[in-house]
Structure 1
Amino acid sequence: MSGHQTAGRLLPTTLVLVALVSAVVGSLGAPLITAVSAEYHVSLAAAQWTLTIALLSGVVATPILGRLGSGSRRRPVVLVTLATVAAGGALSVPALPFWLLLVGRAAQGVGLGVTALLMATAREHLPPDRAASTIALLSVTSTAGIGVGYPLAGLLTDLADVHAAYALGLAVSVLALVTAWLGLPDAKASAPARVDWTGGVLLAAGLLTLLIAISQTGPWRDHPALMGLVTAAALAALAVWTLIETRRPAPLVDVRLLRHPAVAAANTAMLAAGAGMYLLLSLITRYVQTPSGVGYGFGLDTFRAGLVLVPFSVLGFAAGKLAPWMRRRAGAPSLLAGSVAVVLAAFAVFGTARGDISGPVVAMSVLGFGVGAFSAAMPALILGAVPPHETASAMSVNQVVRSTGFALGSALAGLILAGHPRHGSPFPSDGGYTTAAWIGAATMLLAALAIPLAGRRPRA
């Protein structure tokens, strides 16, 4: 067997490994918030930024990386991005000032934009069937992979300290960089893609403002009118960006492609479903860590709470492996609708049967399967409506939409629970979780309404 054939056989493994590492590193902030607060003597709200800043940098970097990776520079862009992630990991390991930890986490968050480039590589270098299954698995990995880092980070923190958990992030980042260096092929394009840096700055400003606004639950309670104005300003900036991009000869994102009903509907479904899925993920994670003395909850420590996410990842990956087979028989829109039904079942389990620890575990498991199937079906809808050379750009936008949905779900969970205080306790009432579950289920129904349009194909 020739070296070229061997590389082709190993390419899917290489791509999935790099995507998994990016997901693990991006998720390291969530289980470490309490430990960071104690280690650096900062408030929990400040420690929360170790997660938020990674998400924000990933959202800003993703469309720029997607455009850079649409031309001949895809391989060096991936390698430089992974080197940046490793450098961020190096800043997070030693006991440096807290602001340097935030800089390191921001650098690590840039890696969240790599997945779209890996999808473009798969579409370009693999046969159609293998490319489709690999892209589906990459989409699943970037979502379900977050459950891999939670228990490992929690265990290392409990056994040593928070710096040991961040050392794990540095180690896997270096592994991803070496893997990509050895196994990632050059792009077939002969010319580098042009980047609209003005559009990038405007998009970054709009997205940053929007995500910061929707991720802050306290200001929404205390100053709702001001936060409404900030959100409106962010949406206005994004509207201006959209207008400018339609007139650029080489736009950051080809907005004309995104206006196609299939692509627009797929992104709409991704936004609503992302909010619903992450809302339930946040509810379950928070519920199982609530001290049992409150009257509900199970008082799980960081490590055991992370173990609750293991079935989420396992069943998510299983759904990703089954998705190509299911899609061939039922079609991507039907698979997407079925995935929404599975997630709705997870909401129903959590909303009605969480008195025993088995209830949240079952809900998390069902959620994982639904998220995995949904994530695997989504790329097929988008890639069926865009030309191959726009794969990285179109999928990067979908990744941004997904991250925005996740931020919306996290903020919505916090707002609903904050609106159901428990007298004499800092914890919300148990009824707040029930209300949040049904609101999340309604959000998933909104996603279902967009699915029929997502199945439409462009005219020849």
Structure 2
Amino acid sequence: MRGSGRGLVWFLLYVGLASAVIGSLGAPLITAVAEAYRVSLAASQWTLTIALLAGSVATPVLGRLGSGPRRRIVVLTVLGVEVVGSLLTVIPLPFAYLLLGRAAQGSGLGLVVLMMAVARDHLDEQRAARTIALLSVASTAGIGIGYPLSGILADQFGVRAAYGLGLVVTVSAFVAAVFLLPHAPNTTTQRGVAPTATAARFDVRGAVLLAIALPALLLVIGETRLWQQHAGLAVVILVAALLVLFGWAVLEARTEQPLVDVRLLRHPAVAAANVVMLVGGVGMYLLFSLITRYVQTPTAAGYGFGLTTFEAGLVLVPFSVLGFVAGRLVPGWRERVGARLLLGASTAVVLAAFVLFAVARSRLVLPVVAIGVLGLGVGAFSAAMPAVILAVTPAAETASAMSVNAVVRSVGFSTGSALGGLILAAHTTGTFPTESGFTTAAWLGATATTCTLAIVALLPLKPR
């Protein structure tokens, strides 16, 4: 049943924003957690890492579990798990329970792809396209909401109050889902077989292999210290993770009811879109991490502005605002100019943000402008991407196909973050990296973004 349901649209967007807020809670609270729980910064970093790892595994799993008639129960179950996890982050328990709670919260990062499937099934075509575009933007630009809110709560009331924000968000999302989330159409489509009323068998082998390969891949990519001190070991782990991932893909291709239908990835437009997402994601998150680190660097380092966690969070507000503006406008533009031109133009905007940060950052307003321009580019890029994939994807495979793209984006973001860390570490002689390290990283990111432009121009993004 399709309609224009405005209430459903707002619910879907709220869940998308909630996922972004939950995911962003770890980053601004690392120092506060280390102090409150009396653990090292390295241990505290796991409050962010474990949520992202849980999300990377949960996203494709939820994409398959939620592709059939059981989607409503899957969404409610995951939101329930998030509520329990949020309680564990708020209740004064040992540090291990905080990590367990963050892992439970991270499992909800895969809900965005299910919200896209709901939009495609229950909204008219035009409104579904706009909603899916905004959901794609919300999963990244929404961090501009979580950062400042969690920062001010931590500064004023302590780290558990900041995590209380996650509890409020997850409980409200669960209650809203009980009343607003519709049942999925009672059909499933598997590899060209006629729709049936039964749910597909879950691919346990594929899920286990993916649960091994993805965390290993994301961990080794993001472990800057490992690459600095044990590069050989890092290469071995990286190769092993890629081999397991390759084995998983072969298994999926031979499985009747796979976790992810890899045949969809053979379509030139889908394959090209994921390559663009991977390379583009490296550059986008590289600049994001550079700017947030630069503005928080104390002025004693000879540069930077020494902003607090809350102030640095406010710097991200233009990123989110302009990202959502772009996400709102892109669906209308796509019909007139096409996906290739939109992806190329948005990548060019990201490139402009890199150049601006590389050449001008002496006053605080300049990094703020740069991250606003970045938000505009990332928002337009994220909003245009689903249309390329879904144009050649069966409706029943919406969640599964978009979950793969979400994982590819996570790998790109992790690579960009790690690349920035490695470059800055190479330019560090004392406590802080030299300012030239930021310049070098910015120009390297600009080069990666230029490569993305070339890929957009050359690969077959147009559906056949």
State the TM-score bracket (shorter-chain normalisation): over 0.9
- Once residues 5 and 148 of structure 2 are traced to their aligned partners in structure 1, the CA distance between those partners, rounded to angstroms, is 33
1:369 is displaced (CA, Å) by 0.6
Letter in 2 for 1:456: K
1:81 CA displacement: 0.8
Aligned-pair distance for 1:8? 2.2
Report the alpha carbon displacement of residue 46 of structure 1 after superposing the two structures with TM.
1.2
**Structure 2 residue aligned with 1:70, among 67, 70, 73?**
67
Counterpart Cα distance in 2 of 1:449 and 1:173: 41
Deviations 1:393-440 (A, max 9, x none): 000111111111111111111111001113xx2110100000111111
User: CA 1:446–1:195 in structure 2 vs 1: closer, same or farther (change >3 Å)?
Assistant: farther
Letter in 1 for 2:439: T
Other-structure match for 2:316: 309
1:442 to 443, 447, 450: 447
What do you get for the CA RMSD once the two structures are aligned?
A: 1.2
User: Counterpart of 1:83 in structure 2: which amino acid?
Assistant: G
For the 8 Å contact 2:339–2:462, the answer to whether it is kept is no
Alignment of 1:140 with 2:160, yes or no, is no
Alignment of 1:371 with 2:378, yes or no, is yes
Q: Does 1:81 align with 2:78?
A: yes
- Equivalent position of 1:386 in the other structure: 393
For this pair of structures, how many residues does the alignment match? 453
Is 1:120 the equivalent of 2:117? yes
- State the AA in 1 paired with 2:369: V
Q: Is this contact kept in 2: 1:78–1:114, CA < 8 A?
A: yes
**Per-residue displacement from partner, 1:143-182 (whole Å, max 9, x unpaired)?**
1001100000000011110000000110111011111111
Following TM superposition, by how much is the alpha carbon of 1:445 offset from its aligned partner in structure 2, in angstroms? 2.1
Shift of 1:16: 0.3
> Per-residue deviation at 1:284?
0.5
Equivalents in 2 of 1:249, 1:224: separation in Å? 39
1:49-198 correspondence runs (5 A): 49-188=46-185, 189=187, 190-198=197-205
Q: Name 1:260's counterpart in structure 2.
A: 267
**Whole-Å separation in 1 of the counterparts to 2:182 and 2:67:** 14
CA distance in 2, matches of 1:22, 1:193: 26
The CA distance in 1 between the partners of 2:423 and 2:64, in whole Å, is 37
- What is the match of residue 194 of structure 2? none
One-letter identity of the residue aligned with 1:89: S
Q: Deviations over 1:25-50 (max 9, x none)?
A: 11100100111111111111111111
Q: Aligned partners of 1:345, 1:229: CA distance in 2, in Å? A: 36
1:419 lines up with 2:446 in the alignment: no
The residue identity in structure 2 corresponding to 1:457 is P
Equivalent in 240, 243, 251 of residue 258 of structure 2: 251
Unaligned runs of 5+ in 2: 188-196
Matched residues in 2 for 1:60 and 1:345: separation? 34
Question: Does structure 2 conserve the Cα–Cα contact (< 8 Å) formed by 1:66 and 1:116?
Answer: yes
Would the aligned equivalents of 2:65 and 2:202 in 1 still touch at CA under 8 Å?
A: yes
- Alpha-carbon distance in structure 2 between the residues aligned to 1:331 and 1:126: 22
Deviation at 1:129, TM superposition (A): 0.7
Distance 2:198 2:373 in 1: 45
Cα offset for 1:446? 2.5
Q: Distance in 2 between matches of 1:408 and 1:137?
A: 24
Q: CA deviation at 1:194?
A: 2.1
For residue 454 of structure 1, report the CA deviation from its aligned partner.
4.5
Contact conserved, 1:16 with 1:138, CA < 8 A, in 2?
A: yes
Q: Hey, what does 2:28 align to over in structure 1? A: 31
CA contact (8 A) 1:346 1:364 kept: yes
What is the identity, as a one-letter code, of the residue corresponding to 1:243?
A: V
State the partner residue of 1:431. 436
In the other structure, the counterpart of 2:242 is 235
SS at 1:426 equivalent: coil
Residues 116-160 of structure 1, C-alpha deviations (whole Å, 9 max, x = no match): 110011011111111101100110111100110000000001111
Is 2:299 the partner of 1:292?
A: yes
- On the 8 A contact 2:34/2:44 being kept in 1, the answer is yes
SS of the residue corresponding to residue 428 of structure 1 reads: coil
Q: 2:18 aligns with which of 21, 24, 32?
A: 21
Residue type at the aligned position of 2:22: V
Give the aligned partner of residue 190 of structure 2. Answer: none
- Hey, what's the Cα distance between the residues in 2 that align with 1:90 and 1:360? 36
**Residue in 2 aligned with 1:353?**
360
Task: State the SS of the aligned residue for 1:297.
Answer: coil
The one-letter amino acid of 2:233's match is L
- Unpaired runs of 5+ residues, structure 1, are none
Q: CA deviation at 1:6?
A: 9.0
Query: Aligned equivalents of 1:219 and 1:100: distance in 2?
Result: 26
**Who is 2:283 aligned against?**
276
C-alpha displacement at 1:376, in angstroms?
0.2
In structure 1, what is the Cα distance between the partners aligned to 2:304 and 2:60?
40
Aligned to 1:401: 408
The letter for the 2-side match of 1:22 is: S
Q: TM-score, normalized by length of structure 1?
A: 0.97
Partner of 1:457: 463
CA contact (8 A) 1:139 1:376 kept: yes
Distance 2:365 2:66 in 1: 44
Aligned to 2:191: none
Q: Which digits, 9 at most, give the CA deviation of each residue in 1:29-75, with x for residues without a partner?
A: 01001111111111111111111111000000100100011111111
Is residue 4–residue 124 contact of structure 2 (8 Å, CA) maintained in 1? no
Which secondary structure state, in structure 1, belongs to the residue aligned with residue 432 of structure 2? strand
> What residue identity is the alignment partner of 1:393?
S
- Alpha-carbon distance in 1 for matches of 2:160, 2:313: 18
- Paired with 2:45 and 2:87, the residues of 1 have a C-alpha distance of 20
What secondary structure is seen at the aligned counterpart in 1 of 2:357?
Answer: helix
Q: Percent identity?
A: 60
Instruction: Please state how far the C-alpha of 1:5 moved relative to its aligned partner.
Output: 9.2
Q: How does 1:193-204 map to 2 (within 5 A)?
A: 193-204=200-211
Shift of 1:9: 2.8
